[in-house]
Homo-oligomer: A and B are copies of this chain.
Amino acid sequence: MTPIETVTRFLDRWNVGIDEIRAALRESLGTDGVWDNVNMSVTRGAEEAMPMIDAFVEQAGFARMPVDMLAICADGNRVFTERVDRFVNAEGQEFLALRVMGIFEIGDDGKILAWRDYYDSRAMG
């Protein structure tokens, strides 16, 4: 799989549901992958990231996230994305459409070494 395919498949899993999102994070971040929500939070490894997902489920009813991929580009193992992340609740209602750019660094084993997402935290309410 190319790095672009790895990132595309990883983000596609966010549209399936919470269990799939948790599995995707565990498989892709492993114990060392750094997820930087720039200016908001930095976690290392899937288990550190999981409470963020849990809190979002509890507080906002977050259920799944279809991603509009506006643009994607790879330079070696780095993948650049411009996206609209659409947060949907259990009733199927979109409660947030977040404009974001993110960069992923993919290891030779297909895992995410680093993922940095840039967006305006004020848009999250």
Neighbouring B residues of A75 by C-beta, 8 Å: 71-73
What is the oligomeric copy number? Answer: 2
- Expressed in whole angstroms, the minimum distance between the Cβ of A39 and any Cβ of chain B is 4
Q: Which of B40, B80, B123 contacts A39 (CB 8 A)?
A: B123
Residue A99 lies at the interface, judged by CB distance under 8 Å to chain B: yes
CA distance A120 to B74 in the complex (A): 24
Main secondary structure of the interface of A (DSSP, over half): strand
User: Which residues of A pack against B, CB within 8 Å?
Assistant: 38-40, 71-75, 78, 80, 82, 99-103, 116, 118-123
Known: A72-B75, A82-B103. A122 touches B119 (CB 8 A): no
Neighbouring B residues of A74 by C-beta, 8 Å: 73
